[in-house]
Chains A and B, each alone.
Chain A
Amino acid sequence: MVATFLRGVCRSIDLVVMLTGKAASYLMPILAFVVAFEVFSRYFLGKPTIWAFDVSLFLFGYVAALGGAYAQQKRAHINVDILYLSVSHKTRCVFNLLSFSLGIFFLLIILHMSLGKYEEAIEFDYRRQGEWAPPMYHFWVMLVIASGLFIAQLGRDMLLDLYYLFTGQALIEQESDDGN
């Protein structure tokens, strides 16, 4: 009963994180196109754009931040796995609980500060400093979402570790366990 509920929570988080990660990946071709267009416009048309610089930086930031949770789901974040790979599953769960707690603490601060910067950006109408001067607030909203999803994914991973520690059974099967 409880396990079913927990499984549902985990699967929901997995789904949202995966969809966001895939959505962010669709920004990659757009990013490359924007930079290529700036080169084309400057060199062949003799007309540098005023927007490509900021648009490319925003897209870069969106891809980089929003992909964080999905990279965690795929266990793609870099870790030093020398000891990690040589200990038992239970020990590994303890390791995860410690390091993910630290990660969540860091991400909570990012979320909190981004929320504050969002409010500031709205209050003072903060913009980028270039001539085009696009507004900044959306970037902080994006960071709130990105760090929120990352927290959710880490929380879900910790839930699995806790479940295993207490029951000795995997909450969700076919969990990739190579720590990679």
Chain B
Amino acid sequence: SAAEHNWRFSNLYGRGTAFGELYEGLAKDIESMSDGRIAVQVLYSGEGVGTAGLLGAVKSGLITMGAPFQSMHAGELPAGVVEIGLPGGTDDPVKLNALFHDQGWDVVLKQAYGSQGMVWLEPYIQPPVYIITKNPINSVADFQGLKIRAPGAYGKFLRNLGASPVSLAWSEIYTSLATGVIDGSIGSNMIDHRDGNHVEVAKYMYRLPLAGAQVLPIVVNRGAWKKLPEELKAAVQKATENHAQAQLSKSKAWESEAVTEMKAKGLQWSPEASDADKKAWADAGAGLWDEYASQDKYSKQLIDILRKSQ
């Protein structure tokens, strides 16, 4: 029988990748938990909507549901950059859950996404951002003058450490590392570094992550959401909550798998960071908080809550 609601769900992972299959699982859960009243067509990376246009596509309803990467939309919804995790943030899932569910980030984010015609559903905790470099980083001072591919907030953070952030297309990272156009690059996580084969051309991973964890949202077009009766809204909500658990446990496992694979190809960790390095690292991140709070009202609300919670 035909479904009452036909949804299109876009994520940024390739067909057949581990994360891609996880999102496919969410789609299946929504279908089964709604007793087939919602049908979900999953669209993978590059299928119909590009990375940069995803948020706009959910907003306009071209895509019903999306799993965007907020950094790509920093110019459209600045609060997303705070949501994903500013440099220096925590990686403790318990603390993150409290921040989102008890201390009020969910309320602010619902407003922020709501102001642009989207319904914010659930936060997903994913592994953090690491920097891979061609030469080992023995102390923070070694970042001085290094050219590192790092967009947006991460670029600003690295500049505070004396590095020179560079903007490049993702598909040019490999060749740029190989030829030495850049000395290092961030990846959206370890899995991204592995998929990009960066370890073939840069062997050293710095130990301190840029942000403790990354938190990604699931958003739904408001018009489509409003068409759902209460019981279906509850079913979708429940499916996304279950999915959050799966994301957390699976992504940890995949991250360590990716690191193991890269080690087999010669990846080495840079030496352990000293206490002075850790402080310099934290200081470089702290300066960004004020800057982001001053630029956007939702960002300010999020950062105020963050400060209070510490």
Contact = CB atoms under 8 A, between A and B. Distances in A.
Q: Do chains A and B touch in the complex (CB under 8 A)?
A: yes
Given A46-B145, A48-B147, A124-B116, A133 B74 contact: yes
Q: Pick from A124, A127, A129 the residue with the most CB of B within 10 Å.
A: A129
Contacts of B282: none
Interface stretch (B41-49, B160-168, B231-239, B242-250): B160-168
| Size class of the contact patch on chain B | 20 to 34
Given A42-B147, A42-B166, A53-B167, A130 B76 contact: no
Nearest to B81: A129
Contacts of B72: 129
Contacts of B240: none
Contacts of B147: 42, 46, 48
Given A129-B52, A131-B155, A46 B75 contact: no
Contact of B75 (A42, A53, A126): A126
Main secondary structure of the interface of A (DSSP, over half): loop
A77 B223 CA distance: 40
Given A129-B152, A131-B156, A124 B76 contact: yes
A145 interface: no
Interface in A127-171: 127-131, 133, 136
Interface string B58-96: 000000000000011111100000000000000000000
Contacts, number: 50
Contact of A129 (B74, B115, B156, B166): B74
B151 interface: yes
Contact of A126 (B76, B115, B181): B76
A136 B167 CA distance: 18
Contacts of A48: 147, 164-167
A131 B167 CA distance: 9
Interface in B184-205: none
A121 to B, nearest CB: 9
A130 B151 contact: yes
B276 to A, nearest CB: 25
Interface in A100-144: 117, 124, 126-131, 133, 136
A48 B159 CA distance: 11
A22 interface: no
A18 B155 CA distance: 42
A129 to B, nearest CB: 4
A47 interface: yes
Contacts of B165: 48, 50, 131
Contacts of B151: 129-131
B152 A131 contact: yes
Contact of A46 (B52, B73, B156, B164): B164
Contact of A133 (B56, B75, B145): B75
Contacts of B156: 131
B166 to A, nearest CB: 5
Contacts of B166: 42, 48
Contact of A128 (B71, B75, B115, B145): B75
Contacts of B74: 127, 129-130, 133
Contacts of A53: 167
Contacts of A133: 74-75
26 contacts: A42-B164, A42-B166, A46-B145, A46-B147, A48-B147, A48-B164, A48-B166, A50-B165, A50-B167, A126-B76, A127-B74, A127-B76, A129-B73, A129-B151, A129-B152, A130-B74, A130-B75, A130-B151, A130-B152, A130-B167, A131-B152, A131-B155, A131-B165, A133-B74, A133-B75, A136-B75
The 3 closest A-B pairs by CB, nearest first: A127-B75, A53-B167, A129-B74
Interface of A: 42, 46-48, 50, 53, 117, 124, 126-131, 133, 136
Given A48-B165, A128-B75, A129-B152, 16 more contacts: A42-B147, A48-B167, A50-B155, A50-B165, A124-B76, A127-B75, A127-B76, A129-B71, A129-B72, A129-B74, A130-B151, A130-B155, A131-B152, A131-B165, A133-B74, A136-B75
